[in-house]
Amino acid sequence: MSTSLALAPAAAAEQIAVTVQTLKRWRAKGIGPAYVRMEGGQVRYRPADLEAWLVAHRQQ
């Protein structure tokens, strides 16, 4: 995966209107949008995964 196509947690949090801390808590609990842990431990989110998560959790 190209890291230029993946978002850091701060950008991902902004995209889905939550805090970075919320994303961190969700990762620890195994919930929230899919993410990738890169070499060195960096966490990245694909925009398509964020969009899919938003669609799946949409409330009518």
Amino acid type, 6: A
Annotate 1-60 with DSSP letters as a single string: --GGGSB-HHHHHHHHT--HHHHHHHHHHT-SS--EE-GGG-EEB-HHHHHHHHHHT---
Binned at pLDDT 50, 70 and 90, residue 16 comes out as very high
Per the CB < 8 A criterion, the answer to whether 45 and 14 are in contact is no
Report which of 41, 31, 30 is spatially closest to residue 8, judged by C-alpha positions.
41
Show me where the domains of the chain are located.
Answer: 3-56
pLDDT digits (tens, 9 = 90+) for 18-59: 999 999 999 999 999 999 999 999 999 999 999 999 999 988
Q: What is the pLDDT of residue 7?
A: 98
Fold of the domain built from segment(s) 3-56? Multidrug-efflux Transporter Regulator; Chain: A; Domain 2 (1.10.1660)
